[in-house]
Amino acid sequence: MERVIKKINECLGTFVKAAASGPRDKSRPARTVVRRIEGGFLLVERYAENKVTHEKIPEEECAKTVAELVENYRQTVVMFTDISMTVLSNGKGKITVRESPAARLMEAVHNRKKNYILREGDDIPVMRDLGIFTKDNKVVVSKQDKYRQINRFIETVNDVLGDEKEIYAVDFGCGKSYLTFLLYYFFTVKKCLKTHIIGYDLKEDVVERCNALAK
């Protein structure tokens, strides 16, 4: 673990993210991810009981946070712009660190261009309302995965659309409704279809948030 912490302390600016899985204690989240976001902060995402919580922390706490992940999870993958470190911890507390070059992978990710249906830079108000775009219509760093997921989903729907003039859709277990709201935008704005969408979810706080956003 010392190698990982030393790397973070010496090269904090090259840190990309850390993902931990296999908690030693069942009371801990099944998976925890720490990502670099804008403004000198990190975003900690904790996945537990079909719910995700988010916490923003200063990047100076990176080494401490990653150390806690290594101590409490069986596997932690720490990515920098030049290398990727996989930290494995067995039941006896023995820690193994494996390194692999990540420069080519990161370069490919940053340089790859794709002609998405919902493009970065386009004026899409719902993307800003959902926190995926900044006020300048740029993809928020911590939402890159969500942005790609949305576009893959929209592309799949677009491939099977016929000559419909009106669309009815029901989303069971809609959660925060990222895909639902963007699907509505795609149908109404991009395809000019008369659209009816209903989202169902059992979590009251999620329902209240989505209803407020819909209004």
Domains and CATH numbers, the chain: 2-110 (no CATH), 125-214 (3.40.50.150)
Distance of CA 215 to the CA centre of its chain: 25
For the segment 101-128, what is each residue's pLDDT rounded down to a tens digit? 764 544 444 445 567 888 888 889 889 9
**What is the model's pLDDT at position 5?**
86
**What is the model's pLDDT at position 19?**
93
Around Cβ 186, how many Cβ atoms within 10 Å? 25
- Least confident among 105-109, 153-157, 161-165: 105-109
Alpha carbon separation from 75 to 34, 47, 113, 169 (Å, rounded)? 14, 15, 32, 40
Around Cβ 144, how many Cβ atoms within 10 Å? 13
Higher pLDDT, 94 or 166: 166
- Tokens describing residue 213: 């956003």
**What is the model's pLDDT at position 108?**
47
Cα separation of 150 and 184, whole Å? 12
For the segment 34-60, what is each residue's pLDDT rounded down to a tens digit? 998 877 889 999 998 778 888 999 999
Is 70 exceeded by the pLDDT of residue 20?
yes
Q: Where residue 146 falls among pLDDT bands split at 50, 70, 90? A: confident
Cα separation of 45 and 29, whole Å? 10
| Phi and psi angles of residue 54, each rounded to the nearest 5 degrees, phi first | -125, 140
**What is the model's pLDDT at position 29?**
93
Q: Where residue 156 falls among pLDDT bands split at 50, 70, 90? A: confident
